[in-house]
Amino acid sequence: MAELPRDALLVVISAPSGGGKTTVCQKIVEANPNIVRAVTCTTRAPRAGERDGVDYYFLDPAKFQSRVQAGEFLEHATVHGHHYGTLTAEILDKLRQGKDVLLSIDVQGARTVRKKAAEDSVLSAALVTVFLTPPSIAVLEARLKKRGTDAPTVIEQRLSVARQEIGEWKHYDYLILSASIAEDVRRMEAILTAEKLRQRRAQAPEV
């Protein structure tokens, strides 16, 4: 893998469904011109207002599998019966342009990215992982119901999966227990600032 800018950040954020990561990512990108969101591929149908190439790349299952076979994905996983994946080229192109990349993926995908980073020093140097979660399953359930996009049976399924996903927090660099949107964004910005100031990424002073 080609060298990336010294201070490049690939920020992986995961959260249980309804955990608020989509909103946090949106706010972070809006407030920081140098941070861009990685657009992932999915085989699920678009939700209201979602646009192909902006929110996701919407692929049919056959096309998705052909790209898997071609080795084009940095990570891919099946979640709630749908395939999701992140194109390696999507990430590297943006990092080489000097942009920091925000990648919102589930715990399966994050596990794969961590594994690949452990085998690649360039990717490892850029990687920062964050787990965002409501403080309790009860809070998460209330959020899912308030969202109003899923049937009760689907919500129960998502809560069951969430219980397993939350147990993965210990494998991330940072844990954010969700409070308000504003506070979650503030904490994410603090993480980004701290990572930019790490010795291995900082510009050495002239002496």
pLDDT for res 2: 62
pLDDT for res 70: 97
Closest CA to 11 of 172, 197, 159: 172
Residues 6+ apart with CB under 8 A from 84: 40, 41, 42, 43, 76, 77, 78, 105, 106, 109
The tokens for 87 are 């194109």
Q: What backbone phi and psi angles, to 5 degrees, belong to 162?
A: -60, -40
Cα 188 from Cα 79, distance rounded (Å)? 25
Q: Do 91 and 38 form a contact (C-beta atoms < 8 A)?
A: yes
Say whether 149 sits in a helix, a strand or coil. coil
Ranges of residues in the chain with a pLDDT under 50 are none
| Neighbouring C-beta atoms of residue 49, cutoff 10 Å | 6
pLDDT for res 149: 74
* CATH H-level, domain 10-196: superfamily: P-loop containing nucleotide triphosphate hydrolases (3.40.50.300)
